[in-house]
Amino acid sequence: MNRIFILKMICSTGIALAITATCNAQEKKIDSHDLPAAVQKTIAEQAKGATIRGYSTEVEKGERMYEVRLTINGHSKDISMDASGNILAIEEEVLLDSLSTNIKEALTKAAGAGTITKVESITKNGKLVAYEAAVKSGSKHSEIQVGPEGNKLTKPE
């Protein structure tokens, strides 16, 4: 019986370490000098008039991606790029009150009893694909998304 307990503990520890390694490998903060030249060029073009808050990299679906976090006119804007500097996605903070009624209603309904603390538009390949809201319910934080017309998404963006 002690052997079974020890084996379970070893397996549990191994699984926990594997999960931790996977989570840590997902997004890594980096310095600007660690960015490929093409990514640096895209950032220079996109960051005009903005404050750069930081850079990160991660591998998603086997592809290395880079992200710059900006502040522009008091709101956040995150830009994801591939190693060639091609923009893959832009997440930009928007005011809830600036959105159409159907978007506000859809986000509010999806938030339920929670409080919406931040809303971002998500653009991919130059096309608005969703709105994402950070929601606080007591001490819990979560995110919700709706489509560009307030519709329910078939999969998260």
Does the pTM of the predicted model rise above 0.75? Answer: yes
Question: Per-10-residue mean pLDDT for the chain, 157 residues long?
Answer: 49 45 69 96 96 96 96 97 97 97 96 96 96 96 96 92
Residue 117, pLDDT score: 97
Residue 26, pLDDT score: 82
Domain ranges for the chain: 27-91, 95-157
Residue 22 structure tokens: 């996977």
Three-state SS annotation for 115-135? EEEEEEEEEECCEEEEEEEEE
- Domain 27-91 class, CATH top level: alpha beta
Residue 25, pLDDT score: 53
- Strands ordered across the beta sheet of 115-124: 28-30, 51-60, 63-72, 75-82, 87-94, 115-124, 127-137, 140-146
Residues 62 and 87: beta-carbon distance below 8 Å: no
Residue 24, pLDDT score: 44
5, 12, 23, 41 from 93: Cα distances, Å: 50, 40, 25, 23
Residue 23, pLDDT score: 44
